[in-house]
Amino acid sequence: MSEVINVEELFASKVFTRATMRERLPENVYKEVIKVMEKGGELSLAAADVVAKEMKDWAVENGATHYTHWFQPLTGITAEKHDSFVSHPDESGKMLMEFSGKELIKGEPDASSFPSGGLRATFEARGYTAWDITSPAFLKEDATGVILCIPTAFCSYKGEALDKKTPLLRSMEAISEQALRIVRLFGNTGAKKVVASVGPEQEYFLVDREKYLKRPDLIFAGRTLFGAPAPKGQELEDHYFGTIRERVGAYMKDLNIELWKLGVTAKTQHNEVAPAQHELAPIYETANIAVDHNQLVMETMKKVAGRHGLTCLLHEKPFAGVNGSGKHNNWSLATDNGVNLLDPGDTPNENIQFLLVLACIIKAVDRHADLLRQSASDVGNDHRLGANEAPPAIISVFLGEQLEDVVKQLVETGEAAHVLQGGKLETGVSTLPDFTKDATDRNRTSPFAFTGNKFEFRMVGSADSIGSPNTILNAIVAEAFCEAADVLEKAEDFDLAVHDLIKEYFTRHQRIIFNGDGYSDAWVVEAERRGLPNIKSMIEAVDTLTTEKSVKLFDKFGIFTKAELESREEILYETYAKTINIEALTMIDMASKQIIPAVIKYTKSLADTVIAVKEAGADASAQADLLNQITEKLNGMKTALAKLEEVTAKANSMSQAREQAFYYKDVVKEVMEELRTPADEAEMLVDKKVWPIPTYGDLIFEV
Ligand code: ADP
Ligand code: MG
Which one has a higher pLDDT value, 373 or 440? 373
Quote the ligand 1 centre to 198 CA distance (angstroms).
8
Ligand 1, atom 6: closest residue by C-alpha: 451
Q: DSSP string of 515-552?
A: -S-TTSHHHHHHHHHHT--B--SHHHHGGGGGSHHHHH
Among 475, 530, 484, 482, residue whose Cα is nearest residue 503: 484
CB-CB contact of 248 with 207 (8 Å):
no
Question: What separation in Å is there between the alpha carbon of 472 and the centre of ligand 1?
Answer: 19
For residue 281, which ligand has an atom nearest its CA? Answer: 1
Instruction: Report strand pairing: 435-436 vs 327-335.
Output: unpaired
Residue 428 has pLDDT above 80, yes or no: no
In this predicted structure, what is the pLDDT of residue 350? 81
Residue 501 β-bridge partners: none
Element housing 146 (H / E): strand 145-156
Closest ligand 1 atom to residue 451 Cα is 4
> What's the pLDDT tens digit per position in 266-308?
999 999 889 999 999 999 999 999 999 999 999 999 999 999 9
Centre of ligand 2 from the C-alpha of residue 386, in Å: 19
Compute CA distances 277 → 192, 447, 484, whole Å.
42, 21, 44
Q: Using an 8 Å Cβ cutoff, are 61 and 23 in contact? A: no
Residue 296 CA, distance from chain mean position: 12
At 122, the pLDDT band (50, 70, 90 cuts) reads low
Residue-wise pLDDT for 132-166, tens only, equals 999 999 999 988 999 999 999 999 888 899 999 99
Report the candidate in 514, 467, 450, 509 with the shortest Cα–Cα distance to residue 484.
Answer: 509
Tell the residue nearest (CA) to atom 14 of ligand 1. 199
CA pair distance 673, 681, nearest whole angstrom = 12
Whether 202 and 461 have beta carbons less than 8 Å apart is answered as no
For 564, residues 6+ apart whose C-beta sits below 8 A from its C-beta are 119, 160, 161, 167
Summarised one tens digit per residue, pLDDT across range 1-19 is 578 889 999 999 999 999 9
pTM for the full predicted model: 0.95
Q: Mapping DSSP to helix (H, G, I), strand (E, B) and coil, where does residue 269 land?
A: strand
Using the mean position of ligand 1's atoms as its centre, give its distance from the Cα of residue 75 in Å.
27
CA distance 329 to 447: 10
Answer whether residue 607 shows pLDDT above 90: yes
Q: Rounded CA gap, 316 and 462, in Å?
A: 5
- By the 10 Å C-beta count (0-12 exposed, 13-18 middle, 19+ buried), 504 is classed as middle
Cβ neighbours of 484 (radius 10 Å): 24
Q: 233-247, 443-457, 683-697 — which is least confidently predicted?
A: 233-247
Q: Which of 200, 203, 202, 221 is nearest to 212 (CA)?
A: 221
Closest of 292, 168, 174, 276 to residue 230, by C-alpha: 276
Q: Distance between CA 112 and CA 216 in Å, rounded?
A: 30
Rounded distance from Cα 465 to ligand 2 centre (Å) = 18
Which is nearest to 448 in space by CA: 507, 361, 379, 388?
361
Q: Which ligand is nearest to the CA of 446?
A: 2
- Each residue's pLDDT tens digit, 232-243: 888 878 888 888
Asked whether the predicted pLDDT for residue 604 surpasses 90, the reply is: yes
CB atoms within 10 A of CB 635: 11
pLDDT digits (tens, 9 = 90+) for 395-420: 999 999 889 999 999 999 888 888 88
**Residue 259 Cα, ligand 2 centroid: separation in angstroms?**
20
Ligand 1 site-directed mutation target among 284, 294, 450, most atoms within 8 Å of CB: 284
Angle between helices 165-185 and 467-490 (to 10 degrees): 30
Dihedral (CA of 321, 467, 175, 553) sign: negative
Ligand nearest to the CA of 452: 1
The C-alpha atoms of residue 486 and residue 581 are separated, in whole angstroms, by 49
Judged by its nearest atom, the ligand closest to the C-alpha of residue 203 is 2
Ligand 2: distance of its center to the CA of 198 in Å? 12
User: What is the total residue count of the chain?
Assistant: 703
CA 576 from centre of chain: 16
- CA 229/CA 233 separation, integer angstroms: 8
Atom of ligand 1 nearest to the CA of 334: 23
pLDDT in tens, 169-212: 999 999 999 999 999 999 999 999 999 999 999 999 999 999 99
pLDDT digits (tens, 9 = 90+) for 15-74: 999 999 999 999 999 999 999 999 889 999 999 999 999 999 999 999 999 999 999 998
Task: For 189, list phi and psi in degrees, rounded to 5.
Answer: -95, -10
Residue 593 in this model has a pLDDT that exceeds 90? yes
Q: How far is the CA of 329 from the centre of ligand 1 (A)?
A: 9
* Residue 254 contacts residue 238 (beta carbons within 8 Å): no
Whether 208 contacts 310, CB under 8 Å: yes
Contact between residue 698 and residue 609 where contact means Cβ atoms under 8 Å apart: no
Q: Is 390 helix (H, G, I), strand (E, B) or coil?
A: coil
Q: How confident is the model at residue 666 (pLDDT cuts 50, 70, 90)?
A: very high
Q: How far is the CA of 471 from the centre of ligand 1 (A)?
A: 19
- Atom index in ligand 1 nearest the CA of residue 342 equals 23
Q: Is 110 helix (H, G, I), strand (E, B) or coil?
A: strand
3-state secondary structure of 297: helix
Q: What is the sign of the dihedral through the CA atoms of 432, 434, 437 and 443?
A: positive
d(CA 633, CA 301): 39
Tell me phi and psi for residue 129, to 5 degrees. Answer: -110, 140
Closest by Cα among 128, 154, 151 to 291: 151
Closest atom of ligand 1 relative to the 343 alpha carbon: 23
Ligand 1 pocket, residues with Cβ under 6 angstroms:
197-199, 201, 268, 281-284, 330-332, 340, 451, 453-454, 456
Bridge partners, 282 (sequence order): 266
Q: Is the pLDDT of residue 423 over 70?
A: no
pLDDT score for 76: 82
**Least confident window among 336-350, 438-452, 688-702:** 438-452
Q: How far apart are CA 290 and CA 292, in angstroms?
A: 5
Q: How confident is the model at residue 121 (pLDDT cuts 50, 70, 90)?
A: low
Give the pLDDT score at 425.
65
Residue 625 in contact with residue 685, Cβ under 8 Å? no
- Measuring from atom 24 of ligand 1, which residue has the nearest CA? 332
d(CA 440, CA 344): 12
Question: Which mutation among 330, 354, 440, 466 tests ligand 1's pocket best, with the greatest number of atoms within 8 A of CB?
Answer: 330
Give nearest CA residue, ligand 1 atom 19: 284
Average pLDDT over the chain, rounded to an integer: 94
Nearest residue to 568 (alpha-carbon basis) of 537, 587, 544, 589: 544
Q: Which helix (H) or strand (E) holds 196?
A: strand 194-208
| pLDDT greater at residue 105 or residue 75 | 105
